[in-house]
Structure 1
Amino acid sequence: MSMPTKSVPHRRLGTAGPEVSVLSLGSWHIYDRMDFHDAVAMVRRAVDLGINLFDVGVYGIPGEPPVFTDVLFSAIVRAAGIERDEYLLSTKLWLEPYPEQSLREQLERAMFRAGTDHADVAVLGDIRRDDLDLRALAGDLAELERDGLIGCWGVNNWSATAVRTVREHAVEAGSPGPQLAQLKYSPCRRSIPDGEPFARVFAEGVSMQASDVMEGGILARGKVSRQIGRDPGGVRDRIVQAAPVLAGIAEELEATPAQLCIAYTLTHPSVATVLFGASSLRQLEDNVAALEVLEKTGAERLRSLIEPLWADRDAVDPEGP
């Protein structure tokens, strides 16, 4: 695949969010394990290619060594000469300590670490409890929007009903509501993003940010040794088995498996941006070249080729967690 030369196109996030690049760069366990000079060159190149959305959510685990990917990101953009108005910053807000720890306190700590005074996008983490007050949560988010601490917000792996419910409360509180739903989406995980419950969410103006598009690297490399995300439906073994089939399809298209995963997720009409991690300049440029794969192959043919790899069909409720 040739070196990408075109600027990465942008799409509107939701109905009230910013224009975001259709490819967004994640940082989960990325900058912590990169040479600093290499990270600076990669992020500089990403911005030059048109990528403007950077996810710097921190995924630290109690009892494990601390992570500093967000702190490093603040140093990387300074070293790369990238001004704050040249990129959009996305951060995570966690619901486990809420409301004992307020969203405002979480956000201020995150922004202190990232070296900025606001987040352009705040994404609420998974709901893992039964007593979450969605009305109060929506009110707190509306206040953060009014105070300019966040530009807009979204949710990560929520059920369709929870997204629609919090949206109703947010509108009542004077907020536009969630502008994105971050969902696991790949050639193998399709039941939730392609299902009818989320079709109604998207019809109301919420965009999708596709995440885990390579199943933590399994679909790109066949196997991985580092920590990867949850396995809804318990279908990871099926995905491991699908990886060589995906690689064969990619070879026929003169593409890499990673490019095929990214190109596939961009065929969904409600995807505003696809989130991926890259740990080298070459990997970044290879992934951006997925845009050429999509243009060359076409969405209809791509979806037809990928159809047999749907691993979570009938294994996951389309309503979501």
Structure 2
Amino acid sequence: MASILLLLGFMIATLNISGAQSIGVCYGRNGNNLPSEAQVVELYKNKGIGRMRIYEPNQPTLQALKGSNIELMVTILKPELQSLTDAAAATEWVQKNIRDYPDIKFRYIAVGNELHPADAETKYLLPALQNIQTAISAANLQDQIKVSTAIDTTLLENTYPPSNGAFSGPASEFMKPIVSFLAQNGSPLLANIYTYFSYVDNPQDISLPYALFTSPGVVTTDPNNNLEYQNLFDALLDSLYAALEKAGAPNLQVVISESGWPSAGGNGATVENAGTYYKNLIDHVKNGTPKKKGAIEAYLFAMFDENTKDGDEVEKHFGLFSADGQPKYQVSFN
């Protein structure tokens, strides 16, 4: 009976994502009170969420996704990168986690998530990317599945004005070859962009409306190109585009692999602010940025609050749904 009630709660949830094909939702599993994988997939299907990001090739999740028509981004986390510098291991990974599931619509493989210059695993990133790409190409899946990596905006320096955006010196050393690899293979760069953390780290210079897409007018104009910015999301993304230009890849696409706002646990972390952010982000990505027009593919972070997640308390409160399946926000695309 409890499972039936939970499923009914899913079905009447007010977060309506039907019709927004550029929007996905990240499914993190760092919680001891979350619904089963099968129930989660039903929630995605019932709400019309057509894309999912997961953070490891969890076999019960993959089993539940079979035949679902949900497009999937699967992540390979830092501890696995060293092993994938061996080509045979990469081939085995692709066989076990991709080829054994022909009825799942894999879209991206994110090799590494938010690696930084000081991480020991950074030196394994490019070889792992190359070996996974080789294995995907050997399976003749290179047109269906794009191999990339997910970065965060701490790799950037000089982000104001956006046209000054560049990778920091240490980040540039490992990112330039990766950017070339992505361009050669027609893959986008995946980027986790959080205006929330920029706001809480620098509230003197960044206003809450600028971070929440609610500024009534232009907040800043880039003096180098006269582009006008009304929200921080656009400024951060265009800073990344400027950095990619300087790295020799002016035409590289960026997919937003995470973006969200917490509902509790920190400064500015309220249900009202989070609901405002998600609604406005969904509306905003239809149009692109001042520098790059056109719809942006984006993945909201995240499906659920995760009560066992490491880090500050705020990290546990990014869910669009609470653990019992109830929607936290009334966000609609209609």
Structure 1: tracts of 5 or more residues without a match = 11-20, 59-68, 224-239, 251-256, 293-321
8 Å CA contact 2:258, 2:298 repeated in 1: no
8 Å CA contact 1:40, 1:76 repeated in 2: yes
Distance 1:285 1:200, change over 3 A: same
Distance 1:8 1:24, change over 3 A: farther
Match of 2:28 in 1: 27
Instruction: Give RMSD over aligned pairs.
Output: 4.0
8 Å CA contact 1:154, 1:181 repeated in 2: yes
Aligned amino acid, residue 74 of structure 2 = T
Question: Could you tell which deviates more after superposition, 279-288 or 153-162?
Answer: 279-288
Aligned amino acid, residue 268 of structure 2 = A
Matched, 1:208 2:248: no
Residue 170 of structure 1 deviates from its aligned partner by: 4.7
Q: Determine what percentage of the aligned residue pairs are the same residue.
A: 8
8 Å CA contact 2:193, 2:259 repeated in 1: yes
Matched, 1:98 2:84: yes
Matched, 1:87 2:70: yes
1:241 to 267, 272, 280: 267
Matched, 1:278 2:303: yes
Match of 1:156 in 2: 150
8 Å CA contact 1:70, 1:113 repeated in 2: no
Residue 114 of structure 1 deviates from its aligned partner by: 6.4
* Structure 2 counterparts to residues 163-178 of structure 1, below 5 A: 163-172=175-184, 175-176=185-186, 178=187
Distance 1:146 1:188, change over 3 A: same
Q: Distance in 2 between matches of 1:40 and 1:136?
A: 29
Aligned amino acid, residue 258 of structure 2 = S
Provide, for residues 123-147 of structure 1, a one-character-per-residue CA deviation record: whole Å limited to 9, x for no partner.
Answer: 0114333534737843651552352
Residue 169 of structure 1 deviates from its aligned partner by: 3.4
Residue 168 of structure 1 deviates from its aligned partner by: 1.6
- Where 1:122 maps in the other structure, the secondary structure is strand
Distance 1:185 1:104, change over 3 A: farther
Aligned length: 229
Matched, 1:183 2:202: no
Distance 1:278 1:206, change over 3 A: same
Provide, for residues 147-202 of structure 1, a one-character-per-residue CA deviation record: whole Å limited to 9, x for no partner.
Answer: 23451122112645444432323555xx21x3131314233336993463443438
Judging by fraction of residues, say which structure has more helix: 1
8 Å CA contact 2:90, 2:135 repeated in 1: no
Q: Distance in 2 between matches of 1:210 and 1:262?
A: 14
Residue 26 of structure 1 deviates from its aligned partner by: 1.9
- Where 1:123 maps in the other structure, the secondary structure is strand
2:239 to 196, 199, 220: 196
Residue 41 of structure 1 deviates from its aligned partner by: 3.5
Q: Distance in 1 between matches of 2:244 and 2:329?
A: 28
Distance 1:74 1:3, change over 3 A: same
8 Å CA contact 1:138, 1:170 repeated in 2: no
Match of 2:331 in 1: 289
Residue 283 of structure 1 deviates from its aligned partner by: 5.6
8 Å CA contact 1:135, 1:166 repeated in 2: no
Matched, 1:144 2:133: no
- TM score, norm. by length of structure 2: 0.53
Distance 1:154 1:142, change over 3 A: same
Match of 1:299 in 2: none
- Where 2:83 maps in the other structure, the secondary structure is coil
Aligned amino acid, residue 263 of structure 1 = K
- TM score, norm. by length of structure 1: 0.55
Question: Could you tell which deviates more after superposition, 131-140 or 199-208?
Answer: 131-140
Q: Distance in 2 between matches of 1:285 and 1:100?
A: 43
Distance 1:208 1:195, change over 3 A: same
Residue 100 of structure 1 deviates from its aligned partner by: 3.7
Match of 1:309 in 2: none
8 Å CA contact 1:209, 1:272 repeated in 2: yes
